[in-house]
Structures are given as structure tokens and as C-alpha cells.
């Protein structure tokens, strides 16, 4: 058992370093190509306003707290004998993020850890699946609210928005409606069995999914029943997660002295999230950075400023949480191995 875990950790570490090298090469090429535009912004880093940088870090930390609160609200609706603490849930969300960033699976790898984490509290398997489905549905609903609201804002006569932004937002509406529909289908027992069978064919998930999941998948998973208030609260906190993440970008821009509206930052953030939903690379590496720089440029932000802010944002939201997630995961492994 330990050998299998060590091999898996090795594969994750290998994947992490491979994509790290790819990102570094991409960043170097990007910086060299746009060096004249970036020079001025790099000099601005010396005079960046510290309090805006502090706000950016605080906003990023709040995303973990709000994400953990979503789980806490939903877990309480299942009336367990013992509920995980908010601290334990924050650790679980960081580890879940670590898996999502190292294994490109559209969020499945992170939810696999959440599944194992909730099993420790004797939560029935069907309830865990139900909770994960509802959490994802709330996330998609929050994104839909922001995307539709932003699209309506783009249609106002106050100013023109590039067609690339509008098309991306419209595509995002359909994408997340489709994903939300798939989440609702997950409440059907036939769908659960099929998903389980497919995941068991993949080596990474085969080691993490217990046979008990297949046995209990034949039971009907009850979704959205008697959970309206927790769902509404969860959507509100998912909105806070997204807005805190968006504020991180905005604070970094203000710290560099860039004059950009909050609405512009929201458009860039949402469009980048829509593109990054494609599970091409861990954490949408390279795709995320190039998309954010493109949308910044499309909305009139200087290329140099867009690149510097994007790299700083990814440092806070992607690279710094990675070692924290790995350390926390190793600690969880040691706890599991103890008698």
C-alpha cells in the first residue's frame, strides 16, 4: 500500500516539475518577446504599493476560507455525528487545489481527495457524492450569475466591448449550463455507476476509489431536497470565492499604478476562467497565462502591465499554494498510516 502511494507521489512530483519547466520556458519567451513593454512595468515593481500587495494576499487567503465555508454549510445539512472543523476544511480545500493543479482532470482529482476526507467522518458514500455534486453545481451557478451580469453590462451603450469578450462570455454561459446539467444527471444511479466504471479504468483514480462506492451507487442519490437554504448560502459564498480571486488581480493592478476599472478586471477574470475550464494542462498552465494576457490587451491594458500582473497573480494563486498543498497532503498520509 505504501509502495503504491510513493509511486503516485513520485508521478505527481514528476508532473509538477515537468510543467514547471514548461511554464518557465513560456514565461521567459513571453518576457523576451515583449521586453520593451515590460521594462517599465518591471521597474514599477520596485515602487509597488505594499498595502495593495497585502490586500492581494489577503484576498487570496480569503478564497480558501470561503471555499471551506461552502463545504461547512453543506456538510451541516447532512447532520453528521461529528462535523469537520473549519481549519480541517481549509486544509482539505488546499490539498484539493493541489491535486487539481497537478492532475488535469477538470476538478475530479481534487474531489477524489474530498471524497476520502469526508469518509473519515463516517459520512455515507451517496451523501458524499451528493455533497460534491451540489458544491460543483453551486460553483457553476455562481459563475453563471457573474457571467450573465457581466454580459448584460457589456451590452450597455456606455462603452464598446471587444467581440472576443462577448463571444467568450456567451460561450461560457452555454458551457456552465452544460456542466450544471451533467451535475444534475449525477444524481441518477445509472449515471453514477457509469462514471465509477470509467474512473476505475484510470490508474490514478483506481487507487483512490473504494469498492464501497460502487455498491452504494445503486442507491438513489438525493439532490436538492430540503437543502434550498444551504444551497443559496453556498452560492453566495461561491460568489465570494470568485470575487475575492478577482479582487486579487485588481489589487495587483492598483499596486502597479494601473488605471483600470473593476469591471474590466472582472471581464478578464471571467473570460480567462472560461478558457481555463479545458483540462489541457495542470491548473491550465500556460493556457491560463496566455489567455489572461490576451484579454487584458483586448480591453486596453498595456501588454507589459498585463504580463506582470498575470505572473504575479499566478504566483499567489497557483505556485505558492503548491508546496503548501503537498506538505499538507504528506501530513494527511502520515495520519492515515498511523494505527
328 — pLDDT class (breaks 50, 70, 90): confident
Confidence at residue 217, expressed as pLDDT on a 0 to 100 scale: 43
* Residue 240 to residue 247: CA distance in whole angstroms: 10
* Residue 74 to residue 110: CA distance in whole angstroms: 17
Number of H helices, E strands in the chain: 15, 0
Between residues 337 and 11, the one the model is more confident about: 337
The yes-or-no verdict on residue 155 having pLDDT over 80 is yes
Confidence at residue 120, expressed as pLDDT on a 0 to 100 scale: 87
Listed ranges 1-5, 41-45, 156-160, 196-200; the one with the highest mean pLDDT: 156-160
320 — pLDDT class (breaks 50, 70, 90): confident
| pLDDT per residue as tens digits for the range 80-101 | 888 999 999 999 999 888 887 7
- Least Cα distance to 120 among 336, 324, 325 occurs for 336
| pLDDT per residue as tens digits for the range 157-171 | 666 788 999 999 999
Mean pLDDT of the chain: 78
Confidence at residue 202, expressed as pLDDT on a 0 to 100 scale: 55
* Residue 111 to residue 299: CA distance in whole angstroms: 35
| pLDDT per residue as tens digits for the range 248-300 | 999 999 988 888 899 999 999 999 999 988 766 666 777 888 899 999 999 98
Helix (H, G, I), strand (E, B) or coil at 156: coil
All cell numbers assigned to 166: 462577448
Give the mean model confidence (pLDDT) for residues 207-222: 47
| pLDDT per residue as tens digits for the range 52-61 | 889 999 999 9
Amino acid at each position: 500500500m505504501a509502495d503504491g502511494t510513493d509511486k503516485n507521489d513520485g508521478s505527481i512530483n514528476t508532473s509538477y516539475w515537468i510543467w514547471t519547466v514548461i511554464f518557465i520556458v513560456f514565461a521567459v519567451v513571453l518576457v523576451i518577446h515583449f521586453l520593451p513593454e515590460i521594462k517599465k512595468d518591471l521597474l514599477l515593481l520596485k515602487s509597488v504599493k505594499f498595502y495593495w500587495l497585502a490586500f492581494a494576499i489577503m484576498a487570496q487567503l480569503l478564497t480558501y476560507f470561503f471555499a471551506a465555508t461552502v463545504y461547512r454549510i453543506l456538510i451541516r445539512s447532512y447532520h453528521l455525528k461529528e462535523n469537520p472543523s473549519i481549519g480541517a476544511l481549509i486544509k482539505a480545500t488546499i490539498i484539493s487545489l493541489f491535486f487539481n493543479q497537478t492532475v488535469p482532470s477538470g476538478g475530479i482529482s481534487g474531489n477524489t481527495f474530498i471524497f476520502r476526507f469526508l469518509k473519515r467522518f463516517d459520512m455515507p458514500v451517496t451523501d458524499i457524492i451528493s455533497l460534491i455534486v451540489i458544491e460543483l453545481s453551486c460553483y457553476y451557478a455562481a459563475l453563471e450569475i457573474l457571467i450573465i451580469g457581466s454580459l448584460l453590462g457589456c451590452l450597455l451603450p456606455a462603452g464598446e466591448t471587444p467581440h472576443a469578450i462577448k463571444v467568450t462570455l456567451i460561450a461560457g454561459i452555454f458551457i456552465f449550463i452544460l456542466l450544471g446539467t451533467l451535475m444534475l444527471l449525477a444524481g441518477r444511479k445509472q449515471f453514477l455507476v457509469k462514471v465509477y466504471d470509467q474512473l476505475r479504468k484510470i490508474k490514478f483514480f483506481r487507487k483512490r476509489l473504494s469498492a464501497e462506492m460502487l455498491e452504494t451507487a445503486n442507491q438513489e442519490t438525493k439532490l436538492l431536497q430540503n437543502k434550498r437554504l444551504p444551497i443559496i448560502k453556498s452560492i453566495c459564498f461561491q460568489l465570494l470565492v470568485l470575487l475575492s480571486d478577482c479582487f486579487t488581480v485588481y489589487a495587483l493592478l492598483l499596486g502597479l499604478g494601473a488605471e483600470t476599472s473593476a469591471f474590466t478586471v472582472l471581464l478578464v477574470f471571467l473570460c480567462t476562467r472560461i478558457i481555463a475550464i479545458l483540462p489541457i494542462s495542470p491548473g491550465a498552465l500556460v493556457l491560463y497565462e496566455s489567455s489572461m494576457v490576451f484579454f487584458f490587451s483586448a480591453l486596453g491594458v498595456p501588454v507589459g502591465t498585463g504580463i506582470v500582473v498575470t505572473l504575479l497573480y499566478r504566483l499567489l494563486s497557483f505556485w505558492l499554494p503548491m508546496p503548501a498543498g503537498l506538505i499538507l497532503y504528506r501530513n494527511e498520509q502520515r495520519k492515515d498510516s498511523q494505527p
